Amino acid sequence: MAKSYSHERGMPIVKKRHREIRHQQTREHSSGRPNVVVDAGVLLDIAPVWHQCAQQTLRRELVQVANALSLPDRFGLSSTEALAVLQDFERCGGWARLELFPEARAMVCSLKELGACVWVMANAPEACGPELDLSLAGVVDPERILALGNWATAQDRVQMLERLQARSYLDVETHTLNAAVDVVPFVACWYRGYSGLEIPDAAVTIIDELGDFPAVLFDWFGHFSIRRA
Residues 92 and 157 in one domain: no
Q: Does the residue 161 lie in any domain?
A: yes
pLDDT digits (tens, 9 = 90+) for 97-144: 999 999 999 999 999 999 999 999 999 999 999 999 999 999 999 999
User: Which residues constitute the domain of residue 140?
Assistant: 13-45+98-224
Share of the chain above pLDDT 90, in %: 80
Which of 35, 69, 96 terminates a domain? The answer is: 96
Residues 136 and 181 in one domain: yes
Query: What pLDDT is attached to residue 202?
Result: 96
Query: What pLDDT is attached to residue 169?
Result: 98
Residue 53: how many CB atoms within 10 A of its CB? Answer: 20
Residues 118 and 199 in one domain: yes
Instruction: Residue 20: give its domain's CATH number.
Output: 3.40.50.1000
Q: What is the mean pLDDT of residues 38-48?
A: 98
Q: Does the residue 127 lie in any domain?
A: yes
Residues 81 and 181 in one domain: no
* Sequence-separated (6 or more) residues with CB below 8 Å from residue 83: none
* pLDDT score of 8 more than 80: no
Residues 142 and 181 in one domain: yes
Q: How many independent structural domains does the chain possess? A: 2
Q: 62-85: string of b/e by CB count within 10 Å (b at 16+)?
A: beeeeebbebbbbbebeeebbeeb
Q: What is the CA radius of gyration of the chain?
A: 18
Residues 84 and 110 in one domain: no
pTM for this predicted structure: 0.84
Residues 73 and 165 in one domain: no
Residues 41 and 91 in one domain: no
pLDDT digits (tens, 9 = 90+) for 177-227: 999 999 999 999 999 999 999 999 999 999 999 999 999 998 887 644 555
